[in-house]
């Protein structure tokens, strides 16, 4: 995944020199600390074996942070949704509509991921909920460690929903667990019906697909059945909802999906708190007994 696209995780390793653009028209003596593995892995200074090791380390570090995030979310009953898609599918517009509909019901917040700018976080704040922008620079995805730190900048969200709007990219965010309850992939009808088959990892990682911009269907050629067939082919358990952030069509079903997920999270949270209270009461009774009260 990220060793293939050359995003920042491998760039930040301890190799002597980075060559963003690698040309094969020079001789292969590599006097500049730039080596090739036997398969010509394209990460300057790293052999294929070393690259695999680096990738494994990155993924296991990310998993540790994701697990810590997930524990924290469970402890506070926060339902977390990781929104993934290509740029321009309408993630932020959909979020604004979602926030307008739900902000009086429960605590909401958004972590925004973009390579540059604070545009999306500003749009979310204008819609009336807290938002923290992460600028990933060269990286093409959010990672669990950065998300964990972003939480420090948001108010308590107990029994609410945290949305994470990932960097627009149908490839890299698929492989990074952020501790979310669900990845939700958004595909707009203008992107082409073949995307689930072209980017199977993303559609496989998602539990729900929102097919956005359905208000444009009368003006374009788009076979909705083909989108769903492709998504089901790579992920038989994926749910799908057609929506339009512009007209509001289909949004009720999406809001219902969110409310249901949040209720389940809250139920689990309540159970945890009750069992913790029971344990504390038992401990208290034991202490009382020991001090002869
Ligand atoms: Mg956006």
List the one residue out of 207, 213, 158 whose CA is nearest residue 180.
207
Q: What is the mean pLDDT of residues 190-205?
A: 97
Cα–Cα distance measured from residue 244 to residue 251, given in angstroms and rounded to the nearest whole number? 7
| Whether the predicted pLDDT of 25 surpasses 80 | no
Where residue 74 falls among pLDDT bands split at 50, 70, 90? very high
- Give me the sign of the Cα torsion angle 230, 172, 71, 118: negative
Q: If you ran DSSP here, which 8-state letter would residue 220 be given? A: S
Question: Ligand 1 centroid vs 22 CA: distance in angstroms?
Answer: 31
pLDDT given at position 43: 65
At 95-133, the pLDDT tens digits run: 999 999 999 999 999 999 999 999 999 999 999 999 999
- The pTM assigned to this predicted structure is 0.82
| Whether the predicted pLDDT of 22 surpasses 90 | no
Q: Is 210 exposed, middle or buried (0-12, 13-18, 19+ CB in 10 A)?
A: buried
Q: What angle do CA 77, 83, 87 make, to 5 degrees?
A: 160
- 54 vs 262, more confident: 262
* DSSP H/E element including 62: helix 48-76
Q: What is the mean pLDDT of residues 44-54?
A: 83
- Ranking 22-31, 114-123, 177-186, 202-211 by mean pLDDT, the lowest is 22-31
- Give me the sign of the Cα torsion angle 245, 248, 252, 255: positive
pLDDT given at position 21: 37
All domains of the chain in start order, with CATH: 10-265 (3.40.50.300)
pLDDT given at position 2: 52
Question: Ligand 1 centroid vs 243 CA: distance in angstroms?
Answer: 17
Q: Across all residues in the chain, what is the average pLDDT?
A: 87
Question: Ligand 1 centroid vs 86 CA: distance in angstroms?
Answer: 10
Question: Ligand 1 centroid vs 14 CA: distance in angstroms?
Answer: 32
Question: Ligand 1 centroid vs 1 CA: distance in angstroms?
Answer: 22
């Amino acid at each position: 995944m990220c060793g293939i696209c050359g995003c920042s995780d491998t760039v930040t390793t301890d190799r002597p020199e980075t060559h963003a653009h690698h040309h094969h028209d020079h001789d292969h003596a590599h006097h500049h600390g730039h080596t090739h593995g036997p398969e010509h892995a394209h990460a300057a200074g790293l052999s294929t074996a070393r690259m695999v090791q680096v990738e494994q380390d990155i993924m296991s570090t990310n998993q540790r942070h994701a697990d810590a995030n997930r524990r924290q979310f469970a402890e506070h009953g926060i339902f977390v949704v990781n929104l993934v898609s290509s740029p321009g599918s309408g993630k932020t517009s959909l979020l604004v509509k979602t926030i307008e509909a739900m902000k009086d019901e429960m605590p909401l917040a958004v972590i925004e991921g973009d390579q540059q700018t604070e545009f999306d976080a500003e749009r979310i704040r204008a819609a009336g909920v807290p938002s923290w922008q992460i600028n990933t620079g060269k990286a093409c995805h959010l990672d669990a460690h950065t998300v964990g730190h972003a939480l420090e900048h948001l108010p308590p969200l107990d029994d609410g929903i945290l949305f994470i709007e990932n960097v627009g990219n149908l490839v890299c965010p698929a492989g990074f667990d952020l501790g979310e309850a669900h990845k939700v992939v958004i595909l707009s009808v203008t992107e082409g019906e073949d995307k689930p088959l072209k980017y199977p990892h993303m559609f496989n990682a998602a539990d729900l697909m929102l097919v956005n911009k359905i208000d444009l269907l009368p003006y374009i050629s788009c076979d909705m059945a083909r989108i769903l067939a492709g998504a089901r082919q790579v992920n038989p358990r994926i749910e799908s909802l057609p929506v339009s952030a512009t007209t509001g069509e289909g949004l009720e079903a999406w809001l219902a999906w969110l409310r249901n997920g949040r209720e389940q999270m809250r139920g689990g949270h309540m159970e945890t708190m009750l069992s913790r209270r029971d344990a504390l009461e038992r401990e208290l009774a034991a202490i009382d007994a020991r001090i002869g009260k």
